[in-house]
Structure 1
């Protein structure tokens, strides 16, 4: 958190020094400039000397937070005076900052000492030397549950395949069983019979290459192969000589860096005799660096968890029947993590076999215990810029699936992401999230069609340990997530709290407490389904950067006071009754918020901007209700990258001017939704900018011939045609179309004949056909698309399913085993759909279907 505190303070000092709205004296400006220089120096020290800087972490965090509180209180008073024409200024920046500066100066002097001393001493390797002992004596048989399939798969990989040397990385989070699996493989009879020489070395985090070679030589000695005693040969050469010409298996356990692999790889010869190397690692980057074929470890399911627990607690007898129910619950609470189950089994083995004793253990399960050592190692190995991001994810409620788009906005608003040239804060935040996923600390729950993370979460045990770490680092006075009592927060942290995110219902009176959080940056009260308007005083929280709330029909003009606001998410009170005629009226002042980056309000009526400056920083805009895409509007949002427009509540008008979309030269993602099923006039034909990478059309019923325009887009990678996006029976594609398209979804359309060739979609990877009720077949030539990986079909027609499976069979006969086909007949998922209450969308879809029939007959 110290690094995050420094980054946030750097942004705050930049803000006060570079905005004319803050009136500071010459002396105060010099003082803040000096402070900013110290902050940047300390942040660089964390980059270059992370281990040494960690000794100052608590002091840095405290002093940086104190200095930022002082500056932001001063800024708050300045803005208050501006809007309310007062002269009240109780905070004197120079005097208040002086004490905080004393501590920061002291810390800087200490940092200067170790940066000067260590820069020369570190040389080429700043990792401390740690003796790595051979793991041969540490291997234990143990009990393997849920690994049989993994075991056989890896054993087959080691024994079969190419005669060239191959690397098999086993990747997964700490405690999931990577080493256990590798041990079982290492001692498997088929492996011991196949490989002439085997060796096991634990690499660990603070590795030394020389220690790896020494441990390998020790392993060779243990199996009767003597060292070469020539004193003039280095250890790595000795290892290479012993392995040369022999069929070997090397296990490199617990590898943490790509450098470690580079250090040893060149000394493992490839003699074409089927030699193999197994790597275990927590990091996907390390695994994929050494090989493109990864073995990803999975969590145990509930049955496997209970099976393992029983075998560990009762190795020589059955579990007593009176303990089964509570035992199953204990296994479930262990979260499918093998190490957690083993530790819990140890606790159960030490207590009496009574239901009371087991219930006492059950209450403790989930508190992590010894697992904290493992997960703490993963945490301390994180770069400093990722630590706050990770603790923030772990602060969300248990089992909560976090939308990645929301998370990266929150990180950016909190000041966790450093502004760097060339990329937006959100782009850096996406990279941060992927990094946490690669380290097996954050779990991906769902990915988008373009491969980016859509939803994520953390394992319950990881979350619990991180919650403890967050308490130790005392971040509660800065961030409150899911806290039910705003009044308690107001009494405790009113002068320092930066974030409030609610996940449960709060009363209107409790909302009144929000007004006291003067330094609040993030306020999110959407997920609590609150139907109460925000108190007017909330719009005096001048430091707000992220605001998400449910609201009445009109947003007050006072929202323009939030001059620092980057993200505004507005959800109407009736959002669950989405087809009721209701409009959220945005004020004209929305166009006067220069820092606004994300404006998401699907049911809003966007006012005519009139004469004002463009929102140059706006990257995302999602609106509805009669959005008219005039040339003036496009000039107001020149840099928008993501645009969502929803039309409903009346017949589509010809003067919505969608042809002006072509002037949005930076637009990458576009979603056009027509909710009410009206037939679009034939002369309505949007023209899209060439920058477009993802396009979703929903309910528009454009003629299929319009696909020629879309097919000419050079950068389009994802195309989703949903709910009658196009009308007509035949879609005939042409050469030189869709040059970059990788994902195509055709969802609920009346297409009957698809005339196409594989060359028309040269880069297609995934084809999804959902409820295309008239489509009975697709051209077999689609199977010849060289990049195609998946065809996913949900269909009424048995003939379509047969056609797609036949394409797969043809490809297998041609030696193409990469193409996967997933088919679900309508009768299979109809039962699931039948349990869902019929809603307005279903009615609208039926109306649209009938209208399409009328249109087709009229055209014919």
Structure 2
């Protein structure tokens, strides 16, 4: 029921928006809004109290009352969204100076809105009163009051031994357990430097219940070729990517991990496909369902490891204390009373212990602990995880519950990009506002809290150890789907032909067999449409028109992946509530001009499409926060994009100098900026204007062939980038002699980027003097040079690159000698990558003295 309380919060937030917007339509509803707001605030408080009694303790009358509360909240949300849409329509007419239409709107539509809104608010107040009376009649009462499970060291070593030692013949190993942390256990071993250094290529593939083998092999091929030299890849190229993959795998010792196996036939086909060159290659399987375990148990050739064993009472005590008291000791009598109860309730399962400990850590007294254990011990549910998950969910802050429920729409065995997920949360209105914090920062905080509570795990990290991809395990996903279904949060299907489409508010279509799904229904109440399809090309179906979406006037989120689609509907601009538009479909060629009418649009993500041009009106949408594309051409002018935080791969070919400077003045809140197609003079203008971007964290600049980038970007006193952490420069650096390494002090006081963590230089033509300058930037942790160095000899100064952990030298065509490294150079280096340095005659002396984890 706490998930419904979160829904109340959303409606209250929309009420506050109506209160500020009503002046725009001269609709006098102040008093009614205040009354409705008070009633909804009461409902929220009551529902949060009821939730603490637990779901299992509610009777049929209470469940019926909850269902009625949901329907009422949906009605309130529809009413407020309809009103907000009228406000946006008036703003659009005024913006484009459609005076006749605006006059008609003011004379007639406003009067209709006035009466309609007042009638609906009165009806909502009456229904809330009836709901309260029903609660009183039926005596419905309230009830006030990251540690990842990765297996024991013994099992970790057992799995490593199977992977790293033994016979040369290819081995297949299966990690089998109850599902509690098995994926995390396998991922932990897979990510270890010991394992990755042992194999020539590695790949992790998540498999849903329904998938295409061709797409699976294609995805693994893409991952494998990134780890091999281009000559090897070219020598194995074939029309069929599956056969090309087989050829590549024959050249290297490989480790392929399959997270999930759907059927016996699928496994046999995969097993026969993977080559065995008797070079100690390995295949690791992580089954997720009992049926998958049964499939693997039928084969005598598969070695099984079962890490999910119960902990002893002492081990349980140690883990529980470590989490609850954060490594502080606690030996009070009250605490000791609960230890046997912890072991009994969790049955010694690591993940269960973690969930319970994280739940109790938020309880400030042992009296509250007693209530939790009373509920757990009285539960008739035998599985400890199934007993703990509802409590963990209900203990979440109300604003996080809807965010967490979004994982119920996640395709099985796959993850969500963390940035994409947070942007969708914001578009849905799930993220609350806080003073001096952006919605993205608040949303990231929600995600980190869910990870800390062991409800979500990190599937992939970025190059700096940050969160890149997140997921939930199958047990949690099943639980969330049951909660989502009970509260009508989302409908999940493999096509969009639905039984009762008029009631659906969110739909997730998941089809991994085809790029085409039939949509015959209109979805009038829809807020979010998410579609994840096979990327495999199909000639048997026509392209989608997506016109059915035009019937969903309340749509906030459109997120399409892999659909067979060439264009979006021309009238998509009529979806005035749309805040997130993500289309990752290779066939998409253009976006309609009406997209400029989406005045609430926050995110446009069109990666993996052919779209390169956007209508000029789009660049005047003030609500825009993220524009993400493979390449997008900037127009001659843009509007006031002061909310914009991400502009990725913008082609500047058609811009003049003043326009460029004007752009940077209008995106002063930008966090990530990527510009390409620059001329020398444009790059210089941009370099001099970067001082306007006080919050910039990631900067990528690419110049046209034969044009130059100014080296003074590193020391320009008029362009201090105090927040910049990642810098990518593509093109020759001009004026390197003007950047004296003596200007870079040990404290980076003269550096215009004092917090720079990562630098990538591509075709930059730098010399030894510039390397010496870079070596004195103490904040650097990652350095990558690709065709960037012109000297035949390279050296790294003593005491240089003191904090660099990763160094990559690629395709340095004339480099012959690397002078020795002493004990005070690169002291923290852990990963060294050398690629394409074909003329290099030696590795430096002293390299063996470094504590490298990956070479």
Matched, 1:511 2:546: yes
Would the aligned equivalents of 1:565 and 1:593 in 2 still touch at CA under 8 Å? yes
- 2:571 is matched with which residue: 519, 522, 537? 537
Would the aligned equivalents of 1:200 and 1:253 in 2 still touch at CA under 8 Å? no
Could you tell me how far apart the structure 2 residues matched to 1:778 and 1:467 are?
59
**Gapped regions of structure 2 (runs ≥ 5):** 94-100, 146-150, 161-178, 186-305, 326-330, 343-349, 365-381, 492-503, 536-540
Q: How many Å apart are 1:216 and its aligned residue?
A: 6.5
Would the aligned equivalents of 2:820 and 2:844 in 1 still touch at CA under 8 Å? no
- 2:733 is matched with which residue: 702, 708, 716? 702
- 2:660 is matched with which residue: 603, 621, 630? 630
Would the aligned equivalents of 2:432 and 2:439 in 1 still touch at CA under 8 Å? yes
Q: How does 1:753-764 map to 2 (within 5 A)?
A: 753-757=793-797, 759-764=799-804
SS in 2 for 1:646: strand
- 2:601 is matched with which residue: 545, 549, 565? 565
The Cα RMSD (Å) is: 5.1
* Distance change >3 Å, CA 45–CA 3, structure 1 → 2: same
For residue 97 of structure 2, what is the aligned residue in structure 1?
none
For residue 29 of structure 1, what is the aligned residue in structure 2?
30
Q: How many Å apart are 1:542 and its aligned residue?
A: 0.5
Q: How many Å apart are 1:544 and its aligned residue?
A: 0.6
SS in 1 for 2:582: strand
User: Quick check: which has more Rg, 1 or 2?
Assistant: 1
Compute the TM-score of the two structures, normalised by the length of structure 1: 0.60
SS in 1 for 2:547: helix
Q: Deviations over 1:289-332 (max 9, x none)?
A: xxxxxxxxxxxxxxxxxxxxxxxxxxxxxxxxxxxxxxxxxxxx
- 1:780 is matched with which residue: 821, 824, 842? 821
* Distance change >3 Å, CA 447–CA 682, structure 1 → 2: closer
Matched, 1:94 2:118: yes
Could you tell me how far apart the structure 2 residues matched to 1:677 and 1:372 are?
60
For residue 640 of structure 1, what is the aligned residue in structure 2?
670
SS in 1 for 2:854: strand
Q: How does 1:299-378 map to 2 (within 5 A)?
A: 376=390, 378=392
- 1:621 is matched with which residue: 644, 647, 650? 647
Could you tell me how far apart the structure 2 residues matched to 1:699 and 1:371 are?
51
Q: How many Å apart are 1:639 and its aligned residue?
A: 1.5
Could you tell me how far apart the structure 2 residues matched to 1:801 and 1:402 are?
44
Compute the TM-score of the two structures, normalised by the length of structure 2: 0.61
Q: Deviations over 1:553-607 (max 9, x none)?
A: 76555333222111123458536xxxxxxx41431x3343222211224433323
Could you tell me how far apart the structure 2 residues matched to 1:3 and 1:759 are?
57
Q: How many Å apart are 1:413 and its aligned residue?
A: 0.6
**Gapped regions of structure 1 (runs ≥ 5):** 127-143, 154-171, 188-196, 220-250, 265-367, 576-582, 812-818, 824-860
Matched, 1:213 2:336: yes
Would the aligned equivalents of 1:693 and 1:717 in 2 still touch at CA under 8 Å? yes
Q: How does 1:284-303 map to 2 (within 5 A)?
A: none
Would the aligned equivalents of 1:2 and 1:58 in 2 still touch at CA under 8 Å? no
SS in 1 for 2:565: coil
- 1:689 is matched with which residue: 717, 720, 724? 720
For residue 227 of structure 1, what is the aligned residue in structure 2?
none
SS in 2 for 1:780: coil
* Distance change >3 Å, CA 38–CA 678, structure 1 → 2: farther
Would the aligned equivalents of 1:724 and 1:749 in 2 still touch at CA under 8 Å? yes
Q: How many Å apart are 1:507 and its aligned residue?
A: 5.3
* Distance change >3 Å, CA 451–CA 145, structure 1 → 2: closer
* Distance change >3 Å, CA 425–CA 59, structure 1 → 2: farther
Q: How many Å apart are 1:540 and its aligned residue?
A: 0.5
Q: How many Å apart are 1:783 and its aligned residue?
A: 5.4
Q: Deviations over 1:786-818 (max 9, x none)?
A: 6x25123233569989847943x435xxxxxxx
Q: How many Å apart are 1:16 and its aligned residue?
A: 2.1
Could you tell me how far apart the structure 1 residues matched to 2:130 and 2:54 are?
14
Could you tell me how far apart the structure 2 residues matched to 1:37 and 1:739 are?
55
SS in 2 for 1:67: helix
For residue 12 of structure 2, what is the aligned residue in structure 1?
10
Q: Deviations over 1:157-193 (max 9, x none)?
A: xxxxxxxxxxxxxxx9567899x97977759xxxxxx
Aligned length: 620
Matched, 1:733 2:772: yes
Q: How many Å apart are 1:152 and its aligned residue?
A: 12
For residue 855 of structure 1, what is the aligned residue in structure 2?
none
Q: How does 1:228-243 map to 2 (within 5 A)?
A: none
For residue 497 of structure 2, what is the aligned residue in structure 1?
none
Q: Deviations over 1:624-644 (max 9, x none)?
A: 242556332222112112111
- 1:793 is matched with which residue: 823, 827, 833? 833
For residue 556 of structure 2, what is the aligned residue in structure 1?
521
Could you tell me how far apart the structure 2 residues matched to 1:488 and 1:252 are?
41
Q: Deviations over 1:311-360 (max 9, x none)?
A: xxxxxxxxxxxxxxxxxxxxxxxxxxxxxxxxxxxxxxxxxxxxxxxxxx
Could you tell me how far apart the structure 1 residues matched to 2:509 and 2:142 are?
43
Q: How does 1:126-525 map to 2 (within 5 A)?
A: 126=145, 147-149=154-156, 173=180, 186=312, 210=333, 212-214=335-337, 254-255=353-354, 256-257=356-357, 376=390, 378-475=392-489, 476=491, 477-482=504-509, 488=519, 490-491=521-522, 493-503=523-533, 508=543, 510-525=545-560
Could you tell me how far apart the structure 2 residues matched to 1:707 and 1:527 are?
50
Would the aligned equivalents of 2:596 and 2:620 in 1 still touch at CA under 8 Å? yes
